[in-house]
Amino acid sequence: MLNAATHCRFCQEPLEHTFVDLGMSPLCESYIAPEQRNRMEPFYPLHVYVCSNCFLVQLEQYVSAEDIFTEYAYFSSYATDWLKHAEAYVEMVLQRFALGSSSQVVEVASNDGYLLQYFLPHGVPVLGVEPARNVAAVALEKGIPTRTLFFGEATARDLAAEGQKADLLIGNNVLAQVPDLNDFVRGLKTLLKPGGVITLEFPHLVRLIEESQFDTIYHEHFSYFSLITVEKILAAHGLTLFDVEELTTHGGSLRIFARHAEDHSRPVSQAVDDLRKRETDFGIPQIATYQAFSEKVKETKRKLLDFLITAKRDGKVVVGYGAPGKGNTLLNYCGIRTDFLDYTVDRNPYKQGKFLPGTHIPIFTPEKIWETKPDYVLILPWNFKDEIVQQMAGIRSWGGRFVIPIPEATLI
């Protein structure tokens, strides 16, 4: 255990309040090769706490970030809707912040270049910072300058010394994956030009609570954020959150905009004030809000198992679509293995031919569904359900139906 002390990773307050306890689970991106199936597999607690001081929801760190992210199984470019989201973001920031050939854009956790590729046709200089070697290699093949590094204050100082300070500094779905939040945010402050802008996207804690999205909790995600808490974290390091957008991605996310606190050229928008008030009314600054979540999660589990038990007793065939991290939390917490789910499929060749961690459900190519014609397809990356339903609409030709597990088991 790397961090046995149960203190908040931001403010160091002792962690005494449970948000939810999902039992023991393996690392969600540690897919099992056929020759590894009979080896011991490490499981770690998925016990989530909430800080009574800053209300940061968080897991303890059991495995180093290097162990998790040096080689990674998630490639952003396999999600078509996510690519559309990235392209629309680039068009927006190009106009809003008047970016051009003299600007510098840096993305932290740039993955396979899914986003930075859209700046290239506009002649905007870009740099990706991506710790996973296998993923960064794909970005380099696309012609996207990429450094294979973990981001923090030291990396930011080195890049700044090279003249790589950013007019626009991007971090999409990375804040949750940072064990040392303070070091990471100090790095953002260090790398940002005096008049520069930071944009960060992350799943919104309010939506996680409202819709029982417990499957977005896994060891690779160390923290879970509200606007109120992120605003405190940024302010502690000399950054001001000046605007926010609510997004539909990942079941409901926030895109926040930040600047240096001493840069008064961008006033704080009404959207920030409005969302802060809504979060306060929702109960973000109240421990009771978090303590009620566990029972909601248990009921979501019961409803999914009720559906699966009935389907199997009726002789129905149920398979999965996707092999995402959230799916592995769902399956392990609910105890769903091949007794309920014959197999799952995924478009990512890196996962095909392997087995899901913990449950050891086999992963095939999507064509397997057309070969076996199952009665039900359980969509594990439910945040991409519209895209998947459209791609796989042909299952209706034999009477197949889709199942969405979150916030409760629903047939479509």
Confidence of residue 63 (pLDDT cuts 50, 70, 90): confident
- Say yes or no: domain 303-411 is CATH 3.40.50.720: yes
- pLDDT, position 61: 85
d(CA 208, CA 57): 11
Class of the CATH-defined domain 68-290? alpha beta
Tens digit of each residue's pLDDT (9 = 90 or more) over 97-122: 999 999 999 999 999 999 999 999 99
Residue identified by tokens 């997004």 is 247
Choice among 26-30, 68-72, 166-170, 294-298 with the minimum mean pLDDT: 68-72
Confidence of residue 4 (pLDDT cuts 50, 70, 90): very low
In this predicted structure, the answer to whether residue 370 has a pLDDT above a threshold of 60 is yes
Q: Fold identical between 68-290 and 303-411? A: yes
- pLDDT, position 29: 83
Among residues 72, 77, 75, 76, the alpha carbon closest in space to that of 31 is found at: 72
In this predicted structure, the answer to whether residue 391 has a pLDDT above a threshold of 60 is yes
Q: Are 300 and 212 in contact, with CB atoms under 8 Å apart? A: yes
Q: In the sheet that 146-147 helps form, which strands lie side by side, from edge to edge?
A: 146-147, 126-129, 105-108, 166-172, 192-203, 253-260, 239-247
Tens digit of each residue's pLDDT (9 = 90 or more) over 174-195: 999 999 999 999 999 999 999 9
- The domains of the chain are located at 68-290, 303-411
What percent of the chain is predicted at pLDDT more than 90? 86
Tens digit of each residue's pLDDT (9 = 90 or more) over 87-96: 999 999 999 9
d(CA 72, CA 28): 11
Across all residues in the chain, what is the average pLDDT?
A: 93
Among residues 225, 376, 204, 209, the alpha carbon closest in space to that of 300 is found at: 209
Choice among 62-76, 123-137, 340-354 with the minimum mean pLDDT: 62-76
Q: Are 352 and 73 in contact, with CB atoms under 8 Å apart? A: no
Confidence of residue 134 (pLDDT cuts 50, 70, 90): confident
